[in-house]
């Protein structure tokens, strides 16, 4: 029996402003498109201006609104400039999706200082910088949604990914603590933890490893970017106003 056709999760985000980091490709691109499809005006943030332009073009093609912002997520000055610029020029900032991330996989005895620092700085410090800048605007508005993209690697670990797993586990602790700080201002903070998702990152693993991964997944398939984006859209919506400090795992049952 074939799977049912994919359908977008539909909510009304009309008039809201969303900012998505790592929006130039993969999951970030999918999230930006789905937020725009549901009515949000989207600030697409990444380092690669050419790829960002493609994301914006796809959003425009479906009738959405978006603009590209090249940014080094590790730089406080760069992050503050983008966040404050979007909030001031667009009049508000309702939704932040911290998705930007990198991997530098290798076993710990071989891992260099730079490979550790690059992953922790991009994946964890970057989320901190964006959340800090965005939360100031959200607290004043007494409304906001902060969604941090973690990973099942942050829940269960993965050999060769001590740096990546540490950064993604750190995001979970960061999110749970921040949710307690901001709940009184009607700002929610949650994590989405994808498992094996069809993307540029999983394609490089090769067919043998992918088939082995499928055997470990009760759903017997890799997830799609749309599977993750639907969860992000839900957490960004008014329907999720009483959901905060949570980790929504999207892994086909792998972590059970």
Q: Would you name the residues annotated as active-site residues? A: 164
Residues 6+ apart with CB under 8 A from 18: 32, 35, 36, 40, 41, 42, 43, 94, 95, 96, 97, 236
Residue 248's φ and ψ, nearest 5 degrees, are -95, 110
CB 23 within 8 A of CB 92: no
Residue 188's φ and ψ, nearest 5 degrees, are -95, 150
CB 27 within 8 A of CB 199: yes
User: How many helices, marked H, and strands, marked E, lie in the chain?
Assistant: 10, 7
Alpha carbons within 13 angstroms on the beta-carbon side of residue 147 total: 32
Of the candidates 48, 31, 49, the residue with the CA atom closest to the CA atom of residue 40:
31
């Amino acid at each position: 029996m074939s799977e049912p056709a994919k359908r977008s999760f539909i909510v009304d985000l009309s008039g809201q402003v969303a900012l998505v980091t790592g929006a130039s490709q993969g999951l970030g691109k999918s999230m930006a498109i789905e937020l725009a499809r549901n009515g949000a005006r989207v600030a697409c943030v990444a380092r690669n201006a050419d790829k960002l332009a493609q994301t914006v073009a796809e959003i425009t093609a479906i009738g959405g609104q978006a603009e590209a912002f090249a940014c080094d997520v590790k730089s406080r000055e760069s992050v503050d400039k983008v966040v404050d610029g979007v909030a001031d020029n667009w009049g508000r900032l309702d939704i932040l999706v911290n998705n930007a991330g990198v991997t530098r996989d290798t076993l710990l005895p071989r891992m260099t200082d730079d490979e550790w620092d690059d992953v922790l700085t991009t994946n964890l410090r970057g989320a901190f910088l964006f959340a800090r800048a965005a939360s100031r605007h959200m607290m004043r508005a007494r409304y906001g949604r902060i969604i941090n993209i973690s990973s099942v690697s942050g829940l269960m670990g993965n050999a060769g990914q001590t740096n990546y797993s540490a950064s993604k586990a750190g995001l979970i602790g960061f999110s749970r603590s921040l949710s307690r700080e901001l709940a009184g201002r009607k700002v929610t903070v949650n994590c989405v933890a994808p498992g094996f998702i069809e993307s540029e990152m999983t394609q490089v693993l090769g067919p043998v490893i992918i088939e082995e991964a499928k055997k470990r997944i009760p759903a017997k398939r890799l997830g799609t970017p749309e599977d993750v984006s639907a969860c992000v859209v839900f957490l960004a919506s008014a329907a999720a106003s009483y959901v905060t400090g949570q980790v929504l795992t999207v892994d086909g049952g792998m972590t059970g």
